Amino acid sequence: MQAAPAPPPFAEPAVAAATAPDRGETLHALLRELYPVPRSLTGDGVRQTLRLLQQRLLPGLRIHEVPSGTPVLDWTVPAEWRIRDAYVATPEGERVVDWHAHNLHVLGYSQPVHSWVTLDELRPHLYALPAQPDLIPYRTSYYHAGWGFCLSQRQLDALDEPLYEVCIDTELDPHGSLTYGELLLPGDVEDEVLISCHICHPALANDNLSGLVVAAHLAQALSQRPHRLSYRFVFSPGTIGPITWLSRQTPASLARIRYGLVATLLGGPGAFCYKRTRLGQADIDRVVAHVLRREGYPHELRDFVPYGYDERQYCSPGFDLPVGCLSRTPHGEFPEYHTSADNCAFVRPEQLDESLALYEQVVQVLEGNQRYQNQQPYGEPQLGRRGLYGAVKGQGNPREAEMALLWVLSFTDGQHDLLAIAERSGLPFAVVRRAADQLLGADLLAPLPAAV
């Protein structure tokens, strides 16, 4: 890792300005625009989603195509799935299940079929939720050949014709490709923050689009201001996407990833939840826990388990990247999960706005957190003759600012970073960071390389 240069004087990111009422509406408008796009593991829905991000927010986003059949770690890139139509119709031609009415109505990755079947023959291919009779479930058959339809229990109960026409107009192209997007925002140092989100779910607003729109707007904000760290954003289909991306990296490129977050489930009404990295001792674990606690967000901290979202690929023992998952209510723990109730009305603008503000605050600490060496460690240096007490008096809480100078001088021993000092002292991180800037300006501190 390269040595970190001394940062410019610490400045709060524009969180307060960014959380104006219209920002949540802007996030929600993008979510509504993306909601009808028929996404899956592969296909034009993913491409359309990435192109829209590229056109609206992220002109530097690179769109990658990896051919079907390509070996990626222990997996193989699947055939590209394309869908044009899918329905169940009565002999009179009435569509009682219609993919054009809702993207969830077809089993994801269904093989093509067009025939007349009896109701008894059709039933094994129908998926409903008896306990939630008005909702359509989200089901897929990515890696097992099959076909089917998803419908509400009320629709299923209403089927009484002896014969139905079933049509699933799809193709699985072995010469297609898997598509993912990647954006690198270089900083003053090569050490990277990885932000990853999945983009493969159709018509699911919280479990898909909320993470995508928060990550995209975070990337746009970072692209418009200087930053010390480098930021890499990966927008890919779940599981196979990160596996594909990881298979294309070099050991040197992966070694630059010092912090990482999987962004998902950021639009629901629940409290925040942070799932730690595999060993639970990474700097990103400390930073997120500090921000959640210090900013007063209702939250829960959970240890890593090898099930969930794409953090389990990044944290697999061969890579062991420091990637946690920062969401609201976790998957499977709210009744709308993987159903048609996870719609645009379920995700509220203010919830998206608050989630983006949290990610901005995490970035703020990542940007400001460094290790320093006290250049006058023998006894307390005379701060008055360096003008530091005068600078303290101009701040909102002079006593707090004065104590921050003393805490920083006491613990810049090469072993403690600024976050550790903030935690030990109980002072806000921003106050500790400003104190470090003042001491740097007086040549009382020297920046150290990132810890290996």
Residue ranges at the known binding site for Zn(2+): 201, 207, 338
d(CA 147, CA 161): 20
Closest CA to 191 of 258, 287, 253, 261: 258
**Annotated binding site: which residue ranges?**
201, 207, 338
Pair type for strands 230-236 and 177-185? antiparallel
What count of other Cβ atoms lies within 10 Å of the Cβ of residue 409? 23
> Where does residue 287 rank: exposed (0-12), middle (13-18), buried (19+ CB within 10 A)?
buried
What count of other Cβ atoms lies within 10 Å of the Cβ of residue 8? 10
Look at the chain and count its residues: 452
Phi, psi (rounded to 5 degrees) for 263: -100, 115
d(CA 344, CA 31): 7
Amino acid of residue 281: Q
3-state class of 87 per DSSP? strand
Q: Are 438 and 404 in contact (CB under 8 A)?
A: no
Q: Show the tokens assigned to 77.
A: 């890139």
Q: Show the tokens assigned to 314.
A: 């990044």
CA dihedral sign, ordered 21, 12, 259, 221: positive
Q: Which residues contact 80 (CB under 8 A, 6 or more apart)?
A: 42, 43, 68, 172, 173, 175, 176, 177, 178
3-state class of 289 per DSSP? helix
Q: What is the DSSP code (8-state) at residue 209?
A: I
CA–CA distances in Å: residue 151 to residues 84, 105, 107: 18, 6, 10
Q: Show the tokens assigned to 344.
A: 């645009």
